[in-house]
């Protein structure tokens, strides 16, 4: 099923406003978002002029990382997240990155499912990342989000 056959994924220019409401779906800390945005590239998925998805890509020493990925709530579960991950893989290869990283919380079971199905492998755990960097406790799927699970894909 493809409800969004003609979405366009494009890079935002520095003058364009990043879609903060979407970025906050993936990362509840606006302070963290504003720290990593300036040095990263922001890509948005648009459908009939509306921004329905976003991902943020950084590149450092030949390693690319998806720092944030989100799809508008009413458009989730229709394959757009998968398409954003495919697009990020293509963009990271174009930047000659050797590998592409993505990190998510231990409680983000759906995201871990999606990333592994999209070719990412778990490589490391940043213990207590969310306890150390986020002021309020985060719960998902009845599980407290404490650790960052790091995954990577060789390009
Ligand atoms: N629970 C269970 N399975 C899920 C979930 C979920 N929450 N989300 C996606 N999946 C599965 C789908 O079932 C599908 O699997 P299948 O092919 O086996 O059926 C697969 O993942 C692909 O799903 P898509 O429809 O492509 O995913 P979607 O368009 O919903 O985008 C995303 C996924 C980006 C995680 C979206 O749900 C979202 O914006 N969530 C809120 C923000 C968020 O958590 N972002 C990631 C944080 S980590 C980071 O930013 C680095
Ligand atoms: N996917 C998602 N959630 C699950 C799954 C699953 N496969 N299995 C259990 N759960 C969840 C339930 O939804 C429930 O969560 P909730 O309280 O939030 O609703 C919770 O786990 C408890 O479920 P139970 O009904 O107590 O689990 P069950 O009696 O099914 O036993 C077990 C779980 C032992 C994993 C069983 O499904 C099984 O025998 N699976 C096949 C063998 C297996 O995989 N064993 C574990 C291998 S690892 C090891 O052996 C060390």
ipTM reported for the complex, 2 dp: 0.87
Q: What is the pLDDT of residue 19?
A: 97
Report whether pLDDT(3) > 90: no
Question: Mind listing the pLDDT tens digit for each residue in 50-71?
Answer: 999 999 999 999 999 999 999 9
Q: Which residues face 10 on adjacent strands?
A: 44
User: Whose C-alpha lies nearest to ligand 1, atom 37?
Assistant: 76
Got the DSSP string for 104-151?
Answer: EETT-HHHHHHHHHTT-EEEEEETTHHHHH-SS--EETTEE---EEEE
- Cα of 107 vs centre of ligand 2, distance in Å, is 16
Q: For residue 65, with 0-12 CB atoms within 10 Å meaning exposed, 13-18 middle and 19 or more buried, which class applies?
A: buried
Q: How many whole angstroms separate alpha carbon 38 and alpha carbon 58?
A: 10
pLDDT band, residue 1 (cuts 50/70/90): low
Kindly list the domain boundaries of the chain, sorted by start residue: 8-154
Fold classification of 8-154 is Aminopeptidase (3.40.630)
pLDDT at 133 over 60: yes
Query: What's the mean pLDDT when you consider all of the chain?
Result: 95
For ligand 1, the distance from its centroid to the CA atom of residue 54, given in whole angstroms, is 13
| Ligand 2 geometric centre to CA of 142 (Å) | 15
Nearest-CA residue for ligand 1 atom 50 is 68
- Per cent of the chain over pLDDT 90 is 92
CA distances from 111 to 59, 77, 140, 149 (A): 22, 11, 11, 11
pLDDT tens digit sequence for 76-111: 999 999 999 999 999 999 999 999 999 999 999 999
The per-residue pLDDT for 6 is 81
Residue 96 alpha carbon to ligand 1 centre in Å? 26
Q: Which ligand is nearest to the CA of 104?
A: 1
Q: In which element (H, E) is residue 33 found?
A: helix 30-36
Q: Which two tokens stand for residue 155?
A: 């390009």
SS3 state at 62:
coil
Instruction: Identify the residues whose C-beta falls under 6 Å from ligand 1.
Output: 25-26, 66, 68-71, 76-82, 102-104, 108, 110-111, 113-114, 117
Could you tell me the distance, in angstroms and rounded to a whole number, from the CA of residue 14 to the centre of ligand 1?
27
pLDDT band of 2, cuts 50, 70, 90 = low
């Amino acid at each position: 099923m493809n409800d969004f056959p003609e979405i366009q994924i494009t890079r935002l220019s520095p003058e364009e406003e990043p879609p903060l409401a979407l970025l906050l779906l993936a990362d509840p800390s606006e302070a963290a978002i504003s720290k990593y945005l300036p040095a990263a590239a922001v890509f948005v998925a648009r459908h009939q002029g509306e921004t329905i998805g976003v991902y943020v890509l950084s590149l450092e020493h030949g390693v690319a990382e998806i720092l944030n990925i989100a799809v508008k709530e009413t458009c989730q579960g229709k394959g757009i997240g998968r398409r954003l991950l495919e697009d990020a893989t293509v963009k990271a290869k174009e930047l000659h990155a050797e590998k592409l990283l993505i990190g998510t919380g231990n409680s983000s079971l759906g995201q871990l499912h999606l990333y592994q199905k999209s070719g990412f492998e778990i490589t490391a755990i940043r213990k207590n990342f969310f306890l150390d960097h986020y002021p309020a406790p985060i719960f998902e799927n009845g599980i407290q989000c404490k650790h960052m699970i790091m995954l990577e894909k060789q390009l």
